[in-house]
Chains A and B, each alone.
Chain A
Amino acid sequence: MAKVIIYPTNSLILSDMVERFGHEPLAMMEKIKKIINTVGVDSPPLNITPEEPKRGLKYAAVEVPAGVRGRMALIGPMIELAEAGIIVGDSSISFGCMGCARTNELTKFLIREKGIPILEIKYPHTEEEGQDFVYKIAEFLKSLPSGSDEK
């Protein structure tokens, strides 16, 4: 079972596909769960404190906005753990907590820099593209170490 980082990091489709083909998705949701369930932090309910931008300094310079560094404090450790990556581009839906364009660029850059197997595709808009999308992801996931058939 390989740890696969997905981009967008909170994608339902990617998270499901990675799990479906027997790997572990590294997604934002688990990080959020951890952070909101930690007691003893002085900034409920989201528990984002000045510590996060400090941790983000490992991935982005001090001049970079705190929002980017704060997000990188969550995404950076996931990239470090990743053994493979799936980056889906052409997304009109990178907003919400995925809405920081600079963080998105930095995330994609760091995944590419890591030298792990990466699949880069685009979100499908037609039936044919949908088939391409699924087939490519499935073949990529099967090619990873200890990838299994669909559960």
Chain B
Amino acid sequence: MAEETEDNITKIVVISSDSILPTDAAMKVYESEDSITIKETCFGTMVNGPREAVLKVVKTLRSMDRNHIFVKERGFKPGAEVRCRAGRGGGPRPGFHFLREEVNMLPMIGRALDKYEAGEPFEEHEAPKKLDISKLKKIIDSEL
């Protein structure tokens, strides 16, 4: 893979918002005057380009709904042959499973961020305990 002469980065922008659609985010990126490339995906967009330009665009995207838009860096460029499904005969790309698991949690995280920003007091919640073995045994016996 050829070395990139510039300091190019790729950011994954995941949209988990009720008011912003991935298309809206993509349109916002298209409005940008910087020389960046984007790829629309099912969870949001991938933005690739010079570091400064990408950071600027990501900041704009985040400001659209900052508690419900999440961003992380990506090692591979959009469409990189070793990762892109197009060249691998379909199926989820490596790394997608993890992203999908975390995307499922994002609405919850977004709501919690809203509460944190609103200054709602922190209440310690007791975690549900695991089922005791003796209790489980009783349940099994009762079923029989």
Contact = CB atoms under 8 A, between A and B. Distances in A.
Interface string B90-113: 000011011101110110110111
Chain B, interface size: which category?
35 or more
Contact of B108 (A33, A97, A127): A127
B14 A96 contact: no
A8 B102 CA distance: 11
A128 interface: yes
Contact of B105 (A19, A29, A124): A124
Given A37-B1, A46-B82, A92-B101, A128 B73 contact: no
A39 B117 CA distance: 45
B140 interface: no
Contact of A133 (B3, B70, B102, B112): B112
Interface string A92-131: 1101111000000000000000000000001110011111
A12 B14 contact: yes
Contact of B9 (A10, A33, A44, A132): A33
B122 A135 contact: yes
A16 B3 contact: no
Contacts of A29: 72-75
Given A13-B106, A45-B81, A124-B105, A36 B75 contact: yes
Chain A interface helix/strand/loop/mixed:
helix
Given A132-B124, A135-B112, A95 B9 contact: no
A72 to B, nearest CB: 17
Interface string B53-89: 0000000000000100011111110001110000000
B127 to A, nearest CB: 7
A64 interface: no
Interface of A: 8, 10-13, 15-16, 19, 27-33, 35-39, 44-47, 92-93, 95-98, 122-124, 127-135, 138-139, 150
